[in-house]
Structure 1
């Protein structure tokens, strides 16, 4: 508030502050407020920075994230693609920022129900993360999970199981035993076994998921109803 009173509204020192406020509103689910502050930050970048500066990529990504959360998928895609375009100009081809962009675009296509397009971008993200990250990095676990979900949605259950098991393996190495991400992995594997008719295995994994949920979640949490 002090900086806003002492600086002009388009002073470049305000851009990261607006962005940080936007991030807090995003985390609170206040998406219209988040958008307002992210757009203020972007406006300052447009005045003060060269066209392909990396801060534009961050701004576009933040705005895309808000639109994705609001269900405005065409706008989300527009801003995620703008972010990707800047990466293509300014970064080496296997930079981890590409993986984040590809993953974000994949999430939009998944939300739109365009699973083959989502899979295409999730695979691009996964290929870069495999090159640029250590093998047990949490981002790889998320990536394998995304691939598993897509293959499951497309009815390719053996592939889905393969990727969910890869995700689980990383979680088991890198997370405490009652972490909620382990519960998600167990639940996803349980769903696949249910789909392919291996009901005893499905039950085993759903019970593992439930056990963690009972420890780590409040008694009325909705995830307990679906475990």
Structure 2
């Protein structure tokens, strides 16, 4: 592209150089915009590796064309952070999210909607790393900002409500989490419709916190609704559909329906391995869940192997001190104790 610019300068009379150069720059930026849009489409389809490659291309191009602090460059940083998080690359995603947030605070101010998006995105990746208290603080900041800037019923505000509900649930604050999830679901249904993927995610999240409180029948109904909706909207193999399958398996297992839960769990596991790889945290969680289901059906040796696989993966991907790693380690120790008695 630099060579092309030099050639234009040699061929175009000096008085016309600026106009020709600007046209070339505009063409390049339009191309980068198309690359960025394509990356978003690929991400929505669950094609995360391809989306990452396209986002890296867009970011590299914008850094060269616009500089590292330009708002469009920061958007590429944020987009790349998102797809890194989708793949379980949480540490790199956190670094990129912090870069985007810092840049947007300086360029746009702390209350700009794009800045608040970076706050929310950072909160999400902190949550996945088990940094729940910091994630809650960031989510509350994002929610407060969105309510003031966009209103209580804006989809971005509702997403922030949903994210806050998630991290509250992670900390065992189930009643507050349920209230927030119901608010998000009601808002999404009104703003986006009952079948929109964001609405279905809210249905799934509400099902999860209902299950956490032992409200299994209602949780099962909500999980069936989410799964049916995802299959129709996104297809059977989309990562969001697989998450719904996994969640459904969990609530079935909680009700002692181990055989049916195992079928659903194996479906989710097979799908995650193909879509996300064997080391993705979502894949490992399904291995962990499968270990529990085997244990409850007295298939101890099989359960032991699944626990070992999940635990080894968690230590590598999330670290030995992550709450999920520690929980898996504890359950495995309990199984070993039962096997010895």
User: Normalising TM by the smaller chain, what interval?
Assistant: 0.7 to 0.9
TM-score, scaled relative to structure 2: 0.55
Q: Structure 1 stretches of 5 or more lacking a match?
A: 195-201
> Which of 219, 232, 242 is 1:180 aligned to?
242
What does residue range 30-45 of structure 1 map to in structure 2 within 5 Å? 30-45=89-104
Tell me which residue corresponds to 1:199: none
Q: Which has the larger radius of gyration?
A: 2
> Which of 154, 177, 183 is 1:124 aligned to?
183
Tell me which residue corresponds to 1:191: 253
Higher RCO structure, 1 or 2 (CA under 8 Å, sep 6+): 1
1:205 aligns with 2:267: no
The verdict on how the C-alpha distance between 1:130 and 1:40 changes in structure 2, with shifts beyond 3 A counting, is same
Residue 168 of structure 1: how far off its partner (Å): 3.5
Equivalent residues of 1:160, 1:192 under 8 A apart: no
Tell me which residue corresponds to 1:137: 196
Q: Which moved more, 1:137-146 or 1:172-181?
A: 172-181
The verdict on how the C-alpha distance between 1:172 and 1:23 changes in structure 2, with shifts beyond 3 A counting, is closer
**Deviation digits for residues 50-105 of structure 1, max 9, x if unmatched?**
44211111110111112111211111111112211221112133211122111100
> Which of 68, 80, 85 is 1:26 aligned to?
85
The verdict on how the C-alpha distance between 1:177 and 1:205 changes in structure 2, with shifts beyond 3 A counting, is farther
The verdict on how the C-alpha distance between 1:186 and 1:76 changes in structure 2, with shifts beyond 3 A counting, is closer
1:15 aligns with 2:77: no
Structure 1 runs of 4+ off > 6 angstroms? none
1:92 aligns with 2:155: no
Q: Compare the two structures and name the one with the higher helix fraction.
A: 2
**Deviation digits for residues 142-186 of structure 1, max 9, x if unmatched?**
222222221222122232233223324424543545663563365
Residue 134 of structure 1: how far off its partner (Å): 2.2
C-alpha RMSD over aligned residues = 3.1
> Which of 145, 161, 165 is 1:102 aligned to?
161
Following the alignment from structure 1 to structure 2, what is the Cα–Cα distance between the partners of residues 217 and 32?
21
Report the count of equivalent residues: 220
TM-score, scaled relative to structure 1: 0.78
